[in-house]
Amino acid sequence: MTVDGSSSAVESRIQIRVGDVDVDLTGTAKEVDSRMLTQMEQDVWSTALASIRGAREAAIEAAREAARESGLPERGSSFRALCEYNNLTRKPDQVLAAIQYLREVEGTEDSPPRVINGLFTDAGIESPGNLSLYLNRLRERGLLAFPVGDGNNKNRYAVLTTEGRAHLDKRSRE
């Protein structure tokens, strides 16, 4: 809409370059949306997404390799050492430690079950299985809390309570 009240279409543009794939769409928002949907249905789009996934995996592996070469411990070995050093052999204690490790060491606030299970896998420790069951029981015992607000009241945002930290401290002294 122009200032004098006459209508003119607002131009929209989407430009994406991935490898050999180049998408450059211009037009009204409706036209761009329609053409983008058509692009996404083509095999070229699948190829572009596969290229992005491949580049992401290569970047992750390069970061792991750089960490190994620099002498930094891998996250799995760090978590395993944490559990062994603190005598955390019970699965609920390991789940608490995993959440604490992800939040405090890695700075992760959003830790869905796949991330927690991945930490166990990286450490060579059997994963908890039904993680939601562990999380809910730890919450019932007052060792975990799920902060409310902004839709965060889900297991994936679990934080240790003061009682949860004290529980881990107690276990590590036993």
Rounded average pLDDT over 128-144: 91
**For position 2, what pLDDT does the model report?**
35
3-state SS class at 10: coil
CB 79 within 8 A of CB 122: yes
**For position 163, what pLDDT does the model report?**
92
Is 81 or 2 the better-scoring residue by pLDDT? Answer: 81
CB 99 within 8 A of CB 139: no
Which CA distances in Å does 62 have to 68, 141, 144?
A: 10, 41, 35
**For position 4, what pLDDT does the model report?**
41
Count CB neighbours of 64 within 10 A: 13
**For position 47, what pLDDT does the model report?**
80
Band (66; pLDDT cuts 50, 70, 90): low
pLDDT in tens, 10-61: 888 988 887 777 888 899 988 988 888 888 888 777 887 787 777 767 776 7
Distance (Å, rounded) from C-alpha 27 to C-alpha 30? 8
3-state SS class at 159: strand
